Structure formats: C-alpha cells, structure tokens
Structure 1
Amino acid sequence: MKLILSIFPLLFITFSLQAQFICSNPSKMALDAKIKELNKLPVEGITNNEKLSLIGNTFLGQPYLEKTLEVGEKEQLVINFIGFDCTTYVESVLALTILYSDTSLESLRTINHYASILERIRYRDGVIDGYTSRLHYFTEWVRDNAKKGIIKDVTVEIGGTEYTKEINFMSTHLSSYKQLDNDKGAVEKIKCVEEEINKKKLSQIYINDIESIDSKIKSGDIISLVTKIKGLDVTHVGIAVREADGKIHLMHDSQSKGKVVITDKPLYEWLKNSKINTGITVARIN
C-alpha cells in the first residue's frame, strides 16, 4: 500500500508503508537520535538552503566510511548513520532537509519516511531496479534530482561555462566495480547511462573564477568538484557554507581527515593548487 503525500511545494514524496531497506541496529539508533536532535533545532522560518546547511553542520566530526552501499549481492536501499562517504553524507543531509520541510508534520519523521525520501534521491526516477539504477555519476544525480523537482543546477546561472567531455569511466574500468565485472547486461545498461549523460554538455565554474562568483553561492548549495580524470565527471561532493571570514568554504566528509569537516580555507583558495580538479558545479535545493 502506498500513500502519495504532498509535504510541501518542493516535491511530491512517494511514501511506502512497507519500505524495504537495510539498516543495522546501531544505524537505526543513530538516526533516531539525529531526529530527536533536529527536533530541538530552530528549523521553522528559515529557507531550505539554510535548513540544509544547519542540518549538515550537525554531522561535523562524523567518521568517513567508504563503500557503505556495497552490501550483499542484490541492490537494496542502505541506510548507514555510523559513517558516510562524501556522497552518502550529502544524500543523508538532503533527505533530512526534506523530512523537515514541513515542521508541522512531526509525526512523519520516521525511519520509513526517511527511507522513502532517500530512495527517491539515490535512484533513477526514485525506483530501485538493480545496481545500475543507482545514480552513480554525480552529473546524472543532479539531472535526475532536478527532474524530480528536488534541486536545480545553478552552475551556468551564477557564472559557469559549458564544456564537452566524454563520460565513460565505469564502462572502461570494470575491475573497479564488482557488480559490473562479468555481467554484460549490467555493463550495457551503464553504457546507456553514459550515452544519455553525453547527449548534453556539462558545465563548471573554473577554479580561477570561483573567487569572482563567491557571493553568488549560498550556504546550503551542493558543490561537486569537477575532475581532470579521463571519462569521469566529478571526484568529490560537499555542501557550501559561508564562514566568519565572509567567504564560502566546503563542508564535506573528507577521506584524508577521516571525518566530516569544514575546509580551513575558502573554497577557491582550497582548490587553487589541485592537481586533479578543474572547477566546481553548484546545485541548489528548491
């Protein structure tokens, strides 16, 4: 049985009363504790960007943990609140922001409702249909969630530039993806995904231009780091936050730091000597 709930003008959420997901007892306890913590925060009367930034900040210090979604042979919705990688951190914060979109609906702040939102964010068209239905490329993640009405890509709008690059990293590095190795059907599906991505130009704000458009980035914007790596679109994602120096910094789950942190330098300065990144993309919650 499914109920269609319009929880606020942002989007319609499909909420399954029998949502299927994997969540360990420690993760469930951590999620329950997070909801209780957020219930005490001043989330009323602020913008969705401000809410996303506020919620993201509550994760500072949470440990970095990679490959948390690679559980079992069958693709299932994984909820892990013990540790995050950069993408699952952003997805979790976005899902919680939507969960708190209407502060009058406190009764809906349950793990089942959270799971339904997370599934909608993480999977193409909001539906799990095997490993290839997960939005692996962040470019497609942004486009798909924009199509759902959850976010908007504002990269070009605030000063970015379109460019062309062939995206094919997954299909050309099969040994890095155990779910694709020796599965010709899955490989063909990923190739179709890559073909769809390549039908449209990509966009980025080049590193040298970030400082000049800093004022156009908002706290709570979702930032991805565009890469030089052949066949790949981005290597890292995080959340923009404007710090006491008046400049945008990046709040992200850092592999090198081993936890969620905020960069000690403004984003443009932090990136200026990068050897693998060329710029950023900016997406904004609706």
Structure 2
Amino acid sequence: MKKHWQGLFFLVGGLFGGANASDFEHTKDPNIESVFYQSIATQTDSMNVVARVERLSHLFMGAPYVGGNAGEGVDGQFDKDPLIRFDVFDCTTYVETVLAGIQSISAKSFKDNLIKIRYQDGLVNFVQRNHFPSLDWLPNNRELLQDITDRVAQDQSQRAITQIDRAAWYRHLSAKSIACKQDCKPLLEKLHETGQHFQIAQADIPYVPLSALFLGPNKQVNQALLDRIPSGSVINMVRPNWALKKWIGTNLNVSHQGLVLRQGGRLILRHASVTHQKVVDEDFIDYFAQYDESSSLKGFNLQLVRL
C-alpha cells in the first residue's frame, strides 16, 4: 500500500523540501538537450499525437526526480530556478515538457509552448504560474487538453470538489519553496503579501473511481474500462478534499500527474515518480492496486491531448 505522502506533485514537494538538483548526476546522455531539440525538429505532420508523446517522453526515462525544480529563471522576481531544464523533473514539469515538445519544431517554439502551458495568459511570473492542477493547470489548458473522464468512467464517474485557499498557501511558502539561499526574509515577506488578494476558490474535477477499475470483493479488473483509455492521455491522480491545510494552508484534490501509454496491449503509467526518484514506466493496474480503501487516493482524471 502506498504511503500517504507518496506521489506529491511539485507544488507540495517544494513546500516540504526535497533534494536539490545538484545532488544528482544525470545518468543519461549529457547532450539530452540537443537530442530533444533534434527530435522535435524531425517531427512531421504524419506523426500522430500518440507517436509524438511516446517518442519524446521516452527520451527522459531514468531522469532524476527533483520536486519544485522549475522557476521563472534568473530574472524571476521570486523563484529564480531555471524556466527550462532537461536534467531533472517533477511530475508536472515532465508532463509539461512532453506536451510543449509535441507541439514544437524548434527551441524557440518549444519555449513559447512551455510558457503557454505553465503560465496563465503566457505571462512568466510566479503569480501567473498554474500552481494548482484542478484550479489552474487544467482549466487554462483547455485548448490543448480535452477532459474524457466521464467518457471513460461512463455512469460511474464521480466529482472531487475542494475549496482551495491560495492566500493561505502563499503564507505557507518558505525560502526552500522558491530556492532562496540568502537574504530571503524581505523576499518572502513580499511573496506572502503578493498572494493575499486571492479569494478562496472552488476546484471541481471529475474522476474515475478506483471502485470502477477494480470490481467487486475480488477486485476483478474492469477490462472494458481500460479499453476506453486512449494511449497518450494525461492522467491526474485525484484525492478528494485532500486534507493538507495544516501543512500547506489549503486542501487539494490532485496529487500527481503523468502519461498513460499502451504498449503491446498493456497500459502503462509513464511518470516522474517521487517513489522511485526518477522517470519510470509502471504497469497501470499494478500501480493502482497498491492503494486500498483507506487511502486518500480515490481515482484518476483523464485528459485527451489534441493538437
């Protein structure tokens, strides 16, 4: 059974700390950046979305997991972590990199597409960053992603409704959250103040309950449901009204993101895993079978990628 904190996405990972990127030595090709840009430059109109997702996401297999590894760059007001990086990932920056890559043909178009995915209205600053998947990231990427959860779950679909308190979340941000190492107090005070204009907002997200995936007391796998999941989809792990308020100032309803791929008739979850501390493939059924009824993880949301 998974531990309660396994699978935290980058926003929470930054608050609770974690390893620094400098603690890792990337075991893959040191020229991964040039390999990535060469790969997107050779994408053709005949390559469908699934082929593009499979090809680009595979480039980073084994890359280390580092929570909260991205920021607004050296010119950022609050978070000066790099805007673009290929050496380490968290679950969201991994998905963002792949999604931006499949739309791009050059380094410039990749940067433009990454910014469009990561920031509301494409404005690069901490406040505009899509920090919360169900409240920001998914709603602000509707041109690229289509929610197919209800289609997959059919009449078993459920909804996770959570009140997200951004202002309280800002007040809980620490120096480590924004990779600040010295003279942090004035910066943190400014950051905490910056977020106080936000009102509590409702985040509503549909999900396929695990009870629809594993049927009856014997937990028989619902193969018909699995067959309705398209390869290349984005998956969001749903924890309805996830009780994190005392740690980060607000409850949440999404804890992790990844990609679903179909290989040889078998579904796999490809993701930057905090458990394995790297980008890995895991059998889809095996991954979810580790969660019992006492877990806060209750299901998953699915998004079809469209170009």
Q: Describe how 1:222-261 pairs up with structure 2 within 5 A.
A: 222-228=234-240, 229-230=242-243, 231-244=251-264, 246-261=265-280
User: What SS class does the counterpart of residue 95 from structure 1 fall into?
Assistant: helix
For residue 252 of structure 1, report the CA deviation from its aligned partner: 0.3
CA 164–156 in structure 1, closer or farther in 2 if over 3 Å, else same? same
Q: Distance in 2 between matches of 1:271 and 1:50?
A: 29
Structure-2 residue corresponding to 1:51: 52
- Aligned partner letter, 1:86: C
Percent pairwise identity: 21
CA 217–161 in structure 1, closer or farther in 2 if over 3 Å, else same? same
Between 1:261-270 and 1:115-124, the stretch displaced more is 261-270
1:231-255 alpha-carbon deviations (Å, 9 max, x no partner): 11211110001233x3422100112
The partner residue of 1:123 within 119, 126, 144 is 119
Structure-1 residue corresponding to 2:86: 81
User: What SS class does the counterpart of residue 263 from structure 1 fall into?
Assistant: strand
- Aligned partner letter, 1:256: T
- Give the TM-score taking structure 2 as reference length: 0.69
Structure-2 residue corresponding to 1:165: 162
Q: Distance in 2 between matches of 1:234 and 1:163?
A: 9
Q: Distance in 2 between matches of 1:62 and 1:121?
A: 21
- Asked if structure 2 preserves the Cα contact closer than 8 Å seen for 1:168 and 1:232, the reply is no
Structure-1 residue corresponding to 2:99: 94
Long gaps (5+) in structure 2 = 1-25, 179-186, 214-220, 244-250
Q: Distance in 2 between matches of 1:156 and 1:265?
A: 19
Structure-2 residue corresponding to 1:20: none
The partner residue of 1:138 within 127, 133, 153 is 133
Between 1:66-75 and 1:134-143, the stretch displaced more is 66-75
The partner residue of 2:194 within 168, 186, 199 is 186
Long gaps (5+) in structure 1 = 1-25, 100-108
Structure-1 residue corresponding to 2:147: 153
For residue 38 of structure 1, report the CA deviation from its aligned partner: 5.0
For residue 172 of structure 1, report the CA deviation from its aligned partner: 4.5
1:129-178 alpha-carbon deviations (Å, 9 max, x no partner): x31110000112011000xx111121223223224222237725733454
User: What SS class does the counterpart of residue 132 from structure 1 fall into?
Assistant: helix
Q: Describe how 1:270-285 pairs up with structure 2 within 5 A.
A: 270-273=289-292, 275-285=295-305
For residue 48 of structure 1, report the CA deviation from its aligned partner: 1.3
- Asked if structure 2 preserves the Cα contact closer than 8 Å seen for 1:249 and 1:265, the reply is yes
Q: Distance in 1 between matches of 2:210 and 2:167?
A: 26
For residue 95 of structure 1, report the CA deviation from its aligned partner: 0.5
- Asked if structure 1 preserves the Cα contact closer than 8 Å seen for 2:147 and 2:303, the reply is yes
For residue 262 of structure 1, report the CA deviation from its aligned partner: 0.7
Structure-2 residue corresponding to 1:202: 205
Q: Describe how 1:5-44 pairs up with structure 2 within 5 A.
A: 29-37=31-39, 44=45
CA 78–173 in structure 1, closer or farther in 2 if over 3 Å, else same? closer
CA 113–143 in structure 1, closer or farther in 2 if over 3 Å, else same? same
For residue 281 of structure 1, report the CA deviation from its aligned partner: 0.7
Q: Distance in 2 between matches of 1:181 and 1:208?
A: 43
User: What SS class does the counterpart of residue 238 from structure 2 fall into?
Assistant: strand
Q: Describe how 1:206-217 pairs up with structure 2 within 5 A.
A: 206-210=209-213, 211-212=221-222, 213-217=225-229
Q: Distance in 2 between matches of 1:113 and 1:237?
A: 24
CA 278–112 in structure 1, closer or farther in 2 if over 3 Å, else same? same
Alignment RMSD: 3.0
User: What SS class does the counterpart of residue 164 from structure 2 fall into?
Assistant: coil
For residue 278 of structure 1, report the CA deviation from its aligned partner: 1.1
- Give the TM-score taking structure 1 as reference length: 0.73
User: What SS class does the counterpart of residue 87 from structure 1 fall into?
Assistant: helix
- Asked if structure 2 preserves the Cα contact closer than 8 Å seen for 1:263 and 1:270, the reply is no
- Asked if structure 2 preserves the Cα contact closer than 8 Å seen for 1:156 and 1:162, the reply is no
